[in-house]
Structure formats: structure tokens, C-alpha cells
Chains A and B, each alone.
Chain A
Amino acid sequence: EAQVTQNPRYLITVTGKKLTVTCSQNMNHEYMSWYRQDPGLGLRQIYYSMNVEVTDKGDVPEGYKVSRKEKRNFPLILESPSPNQTSLYFCASGRWASGGSNQPQHFGDGTRLSIL
């Protein structure tokens, strides 16, 4: 079954304690991306990757890191989480067509992070 898998689904942690949210896709997609969703603000892109070892900042990258060492995995790292990073996070993947157009994305189920 084609899917994007995020873990954990829920996490409550404390300020400053490093955490990693994993994301894995089994569709051989080139493009992977992380979003956060907050009430009234919609989905905002944090980081994206167009292929292995190619990552770039989205609209809200501050306080986050990513890596793309393998095509299927795109972890999101919060080195020193703060309460303003409490949010619902989605990972997504999709094809990246030559010429600069995105194909539709498939989303993971989401990770609800609470930073106390």
C-alpha cells in the first residue's frame, strides 16, 4: 500500500529536549516536505527536499532541521524545542517533474506535538 508514515503520532515533551519526528514514504517520490498547521494560519511549509541531499527552506524554517540521506526518509529535527513549536505537523511526498512543476502530494497522518 502506498503510504507516508510519520512517527510518533503524538508527543508531549519539555522545552529544550531534542526530538526527531520521522517520515518515510514507499512510493519512490523525489519530493518530500514538512508542514505545520496552526489554527487560523493554515498549513505552512517548514522545509522541503527535491531529492537526496537536496533540501531547502520553506516559509517557517526557524528552529527546525531536516536531512535527506535516503530517498525514502525525511526526518524533522527540533534541536531545542520551544512552546511556540506546539503544533500539528504533516509530512508529505510527491513526484517532482522536470521543468519545475510539482505533482500532487500524499500526506502522512500527522504528528501532534506539545512542548511544555
Chain B
Amino acid sequence: RKEVEQDPGPFNVPEGATVAFNCTYSNSASQSFFWYRQDCRKEPKLLMSVYSSGNEDGRFTAQLNRASQYISLLIRDSKLSDSATYLCVVNGGSSASKIIFGSGTRLSIRP
């Protein structure tokens, strides 16, 4: 089993739609959780950290479920500019200082 798993997609949705991504992680001791976005062949950029109580930033909402070991990202009112690959990132693995990336979920927003 991979340490961090994401649905690879691609998700192809119309502009204005709501889209949700899930990510599961295997190490119950993980403490840090993030969502990054990556545009084609560019560097990953932080979208948002994920906190235990859940957090929102504009159209983006992230949630953490420690009991089930998954994190989620919800994008409301999607824009064409949201087209990218979304990466789930978790620390832990065999060492708390290691960082594990999911393989990413590709999102394509159509007009």
C-alpha cells in the first residue's frame, strides 16, 4: 500500500462546478498535512495547510479526518485557472521528518 494515495483523475468539470479530492495516508503518526497545486512541469506551490479543525480559504476548503486517515480538498465555483494537478502532502512515513507526496490528481476545468 502506498503511504499517500490519491485518485489520479483526470477530473474534467465545467466552470462553476464544485469538485472534491480525497487523499488517504497510512501513517497514523503523521502530523503535517498540506495541499499543493502544480501547473504543468512547474514547481509545486502551497495551496493550503490542513488543520485538524478544518480550514477555508476563499473557494477552497480543506478537512482532516484523523480517525479514517484521510484529508480532503473542496473547490467551489471552479475557475478555468484552477486547472492543475493537486498534490496531497503528508509528513511521517518511517520518519516524522520525511515528506511524502501523493502522485497527484489532475483537474481540468472546461468553459
Contacts and interface: CB of A to CB of B under 8 A. Distances in A.
Contacts of B34: 104
Interface in A28-59: 31, 33, 35, 40-45, 48, 50, 56, 58-59
A43 B41 CA distance: 12
B97 A100 contact: yes
A100 B96 contact: yes
Interface residues on B, range: 20 to 34
B18 interface: no
A74 interface: no
A101 B32 contact: yes
A105 interface: yes
Nearest to B102: A42
Contacts of A41: 103
6 contacts: A45-B99, A48-B97, A48-B98, A101-B31, A101-B91, A110-B43
B84 to A, nearest CB: 14
A81 interface: no
Contacts, number: 63
B26 interface: no
Interface of A: 31, 33, 35, 40-45, 48, 50, 56, 58-59, 88, 90, 96, 99-110
B68 interface: no
B44 A43 contact: yes
B99 A104 contact: no
B98 A58 contact: yes
A64 to B, nearest CB: 15
B101 A35 contact: yes
Ranked nearest first, the 4 interchain pairs of A and B with the lowest CB-CB distance are A42-B103, A107-B43, A100-B96, A43-B101
Contacts of B93: 59
B87 interface: yes
A41 B100 CA distance: 12
